[in-house]
Amino acid sequence: MAAGSKLPDLELVRAEASRVPDVIRNPRGPNCTVFLGSGEKVVQICLSLAYSLDFPNLVKYAIHSDPDKVPKDILHECIWAGERFIWGAEASSVEQLRCAGVLPSDGTQLHRTLLIQATRSNLVNHCL
C-alpha cells in the first residue's frame, strides 16, 4: 500500500461486502460495456475491473489487509473482490489501469505486474 495510505474503515468494507451476494446472484450481462474517463480520454474497461471499481473499499481491504485479521464473516467477499481485481488487472492495459486510478499516471507495465503478483500472493494467504 502507498506510504501514508491506510485501510478503509471496516464498516465501509462491510457495507460493500453486503452487496456482493446480490451481485453474484444477478451479475451484469457478458455483453456489458463500461467506459471510463472524461473529455478526450475515454477507455473501455473489462467487466472484472468495473466490479473492482464498484467496490473500492472492499477491494482495497482485500488486497492490502493482513490475511490473518480479515473477519470470517466477510472473508468470502474479500476473496471474491480480490479475484475480480486480479482478473481485471490481468485483462487491462496499463493505460486502462491508469484511467481507472489503479495505477498512478506514471505507472508502467512493471508496476502492473508487481501489483498483480502482490495481490495474488495476499489472496492465496486469505485462502490458507
Give the amino acid at 109: Q
pLDDT at 1 over 90: no
Q: Are 36 and 99 in contact (CB under 8 A)?
A: yes
pLDDT per position as a tens digit, 86-111: 999 999 999 999 988 899 989 999 99
Q: pTM (2 decimals)?
A: 0.86
pLDDT per position as a tens digit, 46-93: 888 888 889 999 999 999 998 889 999 999 999 999 999 999 999 999
From the list 62, 49, 64, the residue with the least C-alpha distance to 96 is 49
